[in-house]
Amino acid sequence: MKEKSLLLIKPDAVRNKHIGHIITILEENDFHFCALKLFRFDRELAENFYAEHRGKDFYENLLNFMMSDFTVAIIVQKENAVQELRDLIGDVNPAIRKPGTIRYLYAEGITENAVHASDSVISAKREIGIIFKTEDTERKD
């Protein structure tokens, strides 16, 4: 069954001009794009998106980082999209990132890790709803 997932290209990767590289990797791995959006997080949007991390030690640093520059949001679709995208982006921990993953190639650290991908179908629906609201994101193919 085809699934949708959300990928965010974070401010560090945007600043370092990796948008095209990351999009190419997605296309080479047969992800179909349903929507793409360039935007900047404000505090309210960042707090809503990262609500599950509220109260954690890294929360304020994460919000400040995500508000520091533009972000690219992409809704992708394919069979098993959520897990395949998670595998493709790689681990948040630099010590165990696999070569060839997006984070191995482009991340600068743990918070400055180039990309975010939804961790479940439920999270994908929630996150897509927050970023894309009521916009038409259905593929017709």
End-to-end CA distance of the chain: 14
Q: Are 85 and 7 in contact (CB under 8 A)?
A: yes
**Is beta strand 2-9 parallel, antiparallel or unpaired with respect to 71-79?**
antiparallel
Q: Give yes or no: 18 in active site.
A: no
CB neighbour list of residue 13: distance below 8 Å, 6 or more residues apart:
19, 22, 106, 114, 115
CA distance 15 to 13: 5
Set 18, 32, 53, 116: catalytic member = 116
Which sequence positions are flagged as catalytic?
116
